Amino acid sequence: MTKNRDTFSIADLAAEFAVTPRAIRFYEDKGLITPARDGMRRIYSPRDRVRLMLILRGKRLGFSLKEIQEIIDLYDAEPTGEAQLRRLITTCQTSRAALRQQMDDIRVTIDEIEAVETQCRQALLEGPRSRKAVG
């Protein structure tokens, strides 16, 4: 699929980005992409293609659809991209902080699970009297 095309069908974009047409229609319903219409047929422009690429990248990075919309809309409002890049940096920092907190929470949970597992193994070795105190 060449990137220099003037238009794309929903099937073209679905195949290129390995997403379902339903996902593309969802992003359209949310106002993130706005294809032209020829009757019932959707006709996607190179702009729509780029927006879909940015949406999918934002989703992979863990951004919400609202955050993705804000970042994409900034480009339309200010084509030099400075405001968009500043917003993207802020969003990346926020996302990274949330992911680091999740990693810390997961580490604590794993430690707790390992402690309970150790207690259970010990209780099995010690016999029925110790089993009531586990947990």
**Calpha distance 135→118 (Å, rounded):** 11
Choose the weakest-confidence range: 18-27, 73-82, 84-93, 102-111.
73-82
Identify the band that residue 80 occupies on the pLDDT scale cut at 50, 70 and 90. confident
Entry pTM:
0.70
14 Cβ neighbours under 8 A, 6+ residues apart: 20, 21, 23, 24
- Reported as type and span, the H/E element at residue 58 is helix 46-60
50-79 mean pLDDT:
88
Contact (CB, 8 A) for 86 and 93: no
Identify the band that residue 2 occupies on the pLDDT scale cut at 50, 70 and 90. very low
67-82 mean pLDDT:
81
